[in-house]
Amino acid sequence: MKTDDLVAMLATGVTPVDRRASARRFGFALLAGAIGALILMEMAFGVRPDIGTVIHSPLFWAKLAFPFVLSIGALGAAARLSKPGRRPGWMWAVIAAPVALVWSFALYIVVTAAPDERLALVLGETWRVCPFNIAFLSVPAFIANQIAMRGLAPTAPRLAGAVGGLLSGSVATVAYSVHCPEMGVAFWAVWYVLGMLIPTALGALIGPRLLRW
């Protein structure tokens, strides 16, 4: 068989690659995870009773913005890592920036507070349950994100699993913020971050098995 004939035979029936497949998969996963987290939040915890008043506070929107910006960075990193040989690139900066900003404000608040008030600023009233509540709410997004990534072609499965876990944790934290009564930046800097790190660690742990192809 001639080379030209072989190439023509192999090319028969080949269709162009759908460049929007990744965006559709992650879009569906993000929507499913967010709806799932909100439903779980309402069923398990409920919306905070003073939500009508607190939404007028800039601090409340800052609390929502913190995990929301993190979710944007995690989504971008997850989408990049789902393609063979790709790295997160500058998405690490989008992930790191809100954490660094919140930690900086938290450190300033704690350092300038009276010594006998510092621990209370960090612990708040719900530190014992906050991280575990966030991890619980992350379950729908965690499952959806891992399925989305598994259907693509990640070549760094541990890192991809971790970023997928961070995405689910940040989505869950946005939902949890609608319930959480804590309004202290020092509290978010510790317990919100810890809550998001639980699914991140789980994703890193199971990524090599779940995302292997």
Map out the domains of the chain as residue ranges: 43-210
Contacts of 103 (CB under 8 A, 6+ apart): 189
CA distance to 87, 164, 208, per residue, from 80 (Å): 6, 11, 17
Q: How many other CB atoms are there within 10 angstroms of residue 100's CB atom? A: 11
Q: Give yes or no for residue 19 having a pLDDT over 60.
A: no
Sequence-distant (≥ 6) Cβ neighbours of residue 176 within 8 angstroms = 37, 41, 45, 130, 133, 134, 137, 195
Mean pLDDT of 22-29: 81
pLDDT, mean over the chain: 88
pLDDT at 14: 47
Q: Give pTM, 2 decimals.
A: 0.88
Say whether pLDDT at 161 is over 50.
yes
Going by pLDDT thresholds of 50, 70 and 90, the confidence category of residue 2 is low
Distance between CA atoms of 173 and 115, rounded to whole angstroms?
Answer: 29
The end-to-end CA distance of the chain, in Å, is: 33
CA distances to 62, 130, 138, 147 from 134, rounded to whole Å, are 18, 6, 6, 20
* pLDDT digit string, tens, across residues 176-212: 999 999 999 999 999 999 999 999 999 999 988 877 7
Choose the weakest-confidence range: 59-63, 86-90, 141-145.
86-90
Q: Distance between CA atoms of 173 and 160, rounded to whole angstroms? A: 20
Taking 3-state DSSP, the helix, strand and coil percentages for the chain, each rounded to the nearest 5, stand at 75, 0, 25
Residue 17 pLDDT: 45
Q: Is the pLDDT of residue 76 over 70?
A: yes
